[in-house]
Structures are given as C-alpha cells and as structure tokens.
C-alpha cells in the first residue's frame, strides 16, 4: 500500500510490538490511510522492515512514540528560590531516573503551583540516549525520517483531548501497558498530571490466566519470553492470550471479573492517590471520568473491575469511533491499543 504524501507516519515502539498508523484526509474528515502491527522484538521488526523499501517509504516523515516503559517520568517540586538552579536540578533528577551509559535526554513541563506554598511542580520526562539512538536507527532502517520522538502517552492525551474538546472538564487517562501503566489527567487542554504506576498489564494477565487455568484444563496458548537482568538468561512465563481470555469470558464473565478485582484494587489505590494529588493542586476541578487504553484495556473484566473499585466512570478509549475516523475492523476491535498511535499521527493537526 502506498502512503499518503502529506501526513506523517506514526510509529509506536511498544513493549513487545510496533504499530504503524497513517491518516489520510484532513481534520474532521480523517480516515486511516495505512496501518500495520509487527509483533515481536527488534529482530522481527528488522526482518519485516526488510520489505519496506518496496513500499516506497524512503524519506517519509515519521512521528515516533516511545512506550511508557521506555520513558521515565516523575514530578519534581521546585521552590521559588531554586528557580535559578532549575536546569541543574532537573538534569540531576533525570540522571537519577535513567541509567544510560550514552547519556540522558530530558524534557519538562510545568504542572502548577502547590497551594499555600511558593513551590511549583514540574513534570520531568527522561529517556536514555541509547533508546533515542535505537529508535532513530530502527526508523532509519525502514527509510523513515523521524520528525518527533514523544512519550506515547502524549499521543494518547492528544487523542482524548480531541474527543473531549467541547467539554473542557478534566478527564483522566489510564494507560495499562504490558510492562508499565501510567495515569494522567487532561486539564484545560494540557497534560495536568502524569505518573507511572506500580501495577501493569502483566499483573492483570497473570491473575486472569490463573483463573483461566482453574476453569479449563487446556494447554496454555501464549508463552512469554522474559529476559533477566543480565540479558543472558531467558526465563519463560506462560499466560493466556487476551483473545482467548475474551472468548472464555463469554461463559465465565463473573469468575474473570472476580479474578481481575485484586489487581484492579491495587491499581485503583494508586489512581486514587494520583487523583488526591491532582485535586489538592486544582481546587474545584473534578475529574469527570477515566479513559482506559493499552494492553490492559483489552483484557476481559478489567474495565468493569477498575470502574467498580474507583467508583467513577471508566470507559475504553475509542477515539476512532468518537471522532468518526474511518478505520478497518481490526483497528476498531482494538481501539484502546491504537488510540495512542492515533494521537501521535494527529500531532500538528489538533
């Protein structure tokens, strides 16, 4: 398939897959021009990329997104008297967050002031230079020209902002990636809060898989390889695939919902803490609801369990449907997984 000429190609380097998406048309009249999903590691991506020159990608602009597990984010409080040494303070904080022999690259955004103090909070995002280099090299191997390198949660925030543009009220977004979950709040058109969480998609998948084993005595269909810390030994973990779990949920919805409650409780505790932090900084700004995206959003029972434990509206992020973007069924079936990639592709148009 040939790519549209003017719109950039969004590339999301995820935890164990890479997604490509390109829009065709114009804002308000978008349709998906190209999409692809390559599962597996860098080797499989390279093999897939070997076919890319035949697709005529050479020199095309690419907006690249890095998964939550690849970008460290933290909130840095900054007293007024420390403003002069801000850059030094942020550089030290970035070096503390990320260990990379090639160096650390960081960006920061202002979040707001702490009430009753002369202190303000900055959102610090840091990434290792080696990751930046690898992402650039992977894009270059496919003939692409990277024009931006964002944390993919900003793509998700952009897509949700496009959905909520008319309301103006704060909305939360909970991205439950396989390796890393992140909670953020969109406030007044900006990311007003962002924090990585301890729980992740793997914890939900483990709990659901254990329950599935009790329910059926079939062979386990998905084997995950997990590299150990020294990058030499490889251990394996066996879990059920999300698709198989969804099929199982047709007959055992209640059992799976109960299984998801434990990790959902842990996740909800973290989200509640985040909301308390946000509300203490923004008096009167009540988060209307939470959009769920990422790997965890596709698991059965997770949406309901999180909603029940948090006690506020939680819904899968479905920006394609909400914004009326024409998309093929395979994207509409997994909208929470494609939402961040859509936001990447929309950069510069919103």
Partner 1 sequence: MRTADFLPPEVFADHLDRRKTPARLLVVAGVAMLGVLVSGAFALEAARLERAAAEAERPDPVAEQAARDLDRIYGEMERYAVRLDPLADHLGRPTVSWILSGIADRVGSGVRIEDLVWSYRPGVPDPRGRPQPDQVELAVTATVVGKGPLLELGDHLLDFTGFDRAEPRRQEVVKDFRDAVRVEVVLTKELGGNGPGGDR
- Which residues sit at the interface with partner 1, rule CB under 8 A? 5-8, 61, 66, 105, 107-109, 123, 125, 127, 132, 146-151, 154, 157-158, 161, 189-191, 347-348, 350
Which residue, 126 or 197, is less far from partner 1 as judged by CB?
Answer: 126
Which residue, 6 or 228, is less far from partner 1 as judged by CB?
Answer: 6
Which residue, 169 or 220, is less far from partner 1 as judged by CB?
Answer: 169
Contact 174, 303 (CB under 8 A): no
Beta bridge partners of 259: none
Beta bridge partners of 316: 292
Distance in Å, CB of 294 to partner 1, minimum: 19
Distance in Å, CB of 106 to partner 1, minimum: 8
Q: What is the DSSP letter of 326?
A: B
Which residue, 48 or 349, is less far from partner 1 as judged by CB?
Answer: 349
Which residue, 139 or 305, is less far from partner 1 as judged by CB?
Answer: 139
For 298, the token pair is: 């596709």
Distance in Å, CB of 6 to partner 1, minimum: 5
Contact 124, 73 (CB under 8 A): yes
Residue 288: HSE in the Cβ half-sphere, 13 Å Cα cutoff:
11
Number of Cβ within a 10 Å radius of residue 306 = 26
Distance in Å, CB of 135 to partner 1, minimum: 9
Distance in Å, CB of 139 to partner 1, minimum: 11
Distance in Å, CB of 85 to partner 1, minimum: 21
Which residue, 123 or 292, is less far from partner 1 as judged by CB?
Answer: 123
Burial of residue 188 (number of CB atoms within 10 Å: 0-12, 13-18, 19+): exposed
**Element housing 185 (H / E):** strand 181-187
The strand order across the sheet containing 104-113 reads 72-79, 119-128, 104-113
């Amino acid at each position: 398939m040939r790519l549209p000429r003017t719109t950039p190609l969004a590339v999301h380097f995820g935890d164990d897959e890479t997604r490509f998406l390109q829009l065709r048309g114009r804002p308000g009249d978008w349709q998906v021009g190209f999409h692809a999903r390559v599962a597996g590691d860098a080797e499989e991506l390279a093999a897939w990329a070997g076919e890319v020159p035949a697709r005529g990608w050479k020199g095309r602009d690419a907006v690249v997104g890095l998964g939550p597990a690849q970008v460290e984010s933290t909130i840095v409080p900054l007293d007024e008297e420390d403003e002069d040494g801000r850059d030094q303070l942020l550089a030290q904080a970035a070096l503390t967050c990320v260990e990379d022999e090639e160096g650390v690259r960081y960006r920061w955004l202002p979040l707001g002031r702490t009430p009753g103090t002369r202190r303000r909070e900055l959102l610090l995002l840091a990434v290792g230079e080696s990751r930046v280099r690898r992402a650039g090299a992977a894009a270059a191997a496919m003939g692409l020209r990277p024009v931006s390198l964002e944390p993919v949660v900003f793509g998700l925030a952009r897509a949700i902002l496009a959905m909520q543009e008319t309301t103006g009220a704060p909305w939360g977004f909970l991205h439950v990636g396989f390796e890393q979950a992140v909670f953020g709040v969109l406030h007044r058109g900006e990311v007003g809060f962002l924090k990585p969480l301890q729980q992740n998609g793997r914890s939900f998948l483990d709990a659901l898989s254990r329950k599935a084993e009790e329910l059926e005595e079939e062979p386990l269909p998905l084997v995950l390889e997990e590299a150990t810390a020294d990058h030499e030994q490889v251990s394996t973990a066996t879990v059920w695939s999300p698709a198989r779990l969804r099929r199982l949920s047709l007959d055992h919805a209640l059992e799976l919902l109960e299984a998801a409650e434990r990790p959902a409780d842990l996740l909800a505790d973290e989200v509640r803490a985040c909301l308390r932090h946000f509300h203490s900084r923004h008096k009167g700004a009540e988060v209307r609801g939470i959009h769920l995206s990422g790997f965890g959003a596709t698991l059965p029972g997770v949406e309901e369990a999180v909603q029940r434990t948090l006690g506020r509206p939680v819904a899968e992020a479905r920006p394609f449907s909400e914004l009326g973007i024409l998309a093929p069924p395979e994207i509409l079936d997994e909208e929470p997984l494609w939402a961040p990639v859509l936001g990447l592709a929309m950069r510069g148009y919103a």
